[in-house]
Structures are given as C-alpha cells and as structure tokens.
Amino acid sequence: EVQLVESGGGLIQPGGSLRLSCAVSGFTVSTNYVSWVRQAPGRGPEWVSIIYKGGDTYYADSVKGRFTISRDESKNTVYLQMNSLRAEDTAVYYCARVPLAANGPPYFFDFWGSGTLVTVSS
C-alpha cells in the first residue's frame, strides 16, 4: 500500500528555517518522482518543488533560492529544507507522488500525504 507521511511542521518566526520530512512506503523514492505541494488557508494548492527519479530538482519561483528538496534513499524519505521563511509561506505542506505509469510532464499526483502545517509568524 502506498503511503506518504509528512512531519516537521510547526510555528516558526519570519527569517527562520525548518526541515520537513516525507517518509514513504509502498514505493521507493529513488525510482519515482516526488513533489511538495502547499496550500495556504482558504486558497488553492500551489506546487513547490519536485525531485526527479534521476535526482534533478526543480522549484517554483516563489521558493527558488530559499527551499531545497532532497532525498535519502536508505530511509526512503524526501525532505524539504526551508530557509528565510516568510509569512506568505504559511500553509499546509503535502508531499505527493507522480503516477508510475504517467506519460507526459511528471507534475500531477496520484498519492498524497495528509500534510503538515507550517505557520510563519512572530
């Protein structure tokens, strides 16, 4: 059974740093595309970042230079290091998997975690 479980969210002051974790089971992070998607209160989802099967990484312009996605294949876990946090980064952060058999651009998602809340406030 495919599962993704996020952790690491919390209350952080503006300018601070936080690392989110996404522990997966039922598939391996080294052979799948995994993304982070966030959703601010009352808003639609916003794609944040993706790590490709081959290890390439991509980011939304809103987080480029501040956030870093990585993975630990031995732990089957994907991370999101978030630095220089701003109030507008406040959201529920989800990790999500691209379908194995997807053809075309790998940016839609068939399995999602339940999310972890990040609140940036003084």
Partner 1 sequence: DIQMTQSPSTLSASVGDRVTITCRASQNIKSWLAWYQQKPGKAPKLLIYRASSLDSGVPSRFSGTGSGTDFTLTVSSLQPDDFATYYCQQYNSYSTFGQGTKLEIK
CA dist 90 and 98 (Å) reads 24
CA dist 6 and 104 (Å) reads 27
Stretch in the footprint of partner 1 (CB under 8 A) among 7-15, 23-31, 55-63, 80-88: 55-63
**E-state strands within 27-83:** 34-39, 46-51, 57-59, 67-72, 77-82
CA dist 113 and 111 (Å) reads 7
Kindly state whether residue 54 participates in binding partner 1, applying the rule CB under 8 A.
no
Measured from the CB atom, the residue of 17 and 25 that comes closer to partner 1 is: 25
Encoded one letter per residue, x for contact with partner 1 by CB under 8 A and - for no contact, window 34-53 reads -x-x-----xxxxx------
Report in angstroms how near the CB of residue 13 gets to partner 1 at its nearest: 26
Task: List interacting residues with partner 1 (CB under 8 A).
Answer: 35, 37, 43-47, 58, 60-61, 94, 96, 99, 102, 104-110, 112-115
